[in-house]
Copies of this chain bind each other. A is one copy, B any other.
């Protein structure tokens, strides 16, 4: 299990990575995150839904309602084109973050 402190900076990246594949909604994403991380990361519901609101305000994602033939009506989210750009930027930043932190761990003196 990783702490939410470790993941904090990357919740947006995770959400965008999942919405890159297909439009989705809170409950489903929540379960996907659990499954994909093999139970090692659980994004709290309040974290997830507040992230949706935050990202929608920034216009990285957009919501729409869809009445299902079965199940409760859900609020779906899709990535916007701006969101797609941000997603690519954030992926690159993640690569850089890894490099930086690994440098500290492997070669603390920077030599």
Contacts and interface: CB of A to CB of B under 8 A. Distances in A.
Interface of A: 2-3, 5-10, 13-14, 17-18, 20-21, 32, 35-37, 40-41, 91, 93-94, 96-98, 100-101, 103-105, 107-110
A96 B20 contact: no
Say how many copies of this protein the assembly contains: 2
A13 B103 CA distance: 12
Nearest to A17: B104
11 contacts: A2-B96, A5-B9, A8-B8, A13-B105, A17-B105, A17-B108, A20-B108, A21-B109, A35-B110, A36-B108, A37-B103
Contacts of A103: 36-37
Contacts of A40: 96, 100
Contacts of A10: 6, 97, 101
Contacts of A107: 36
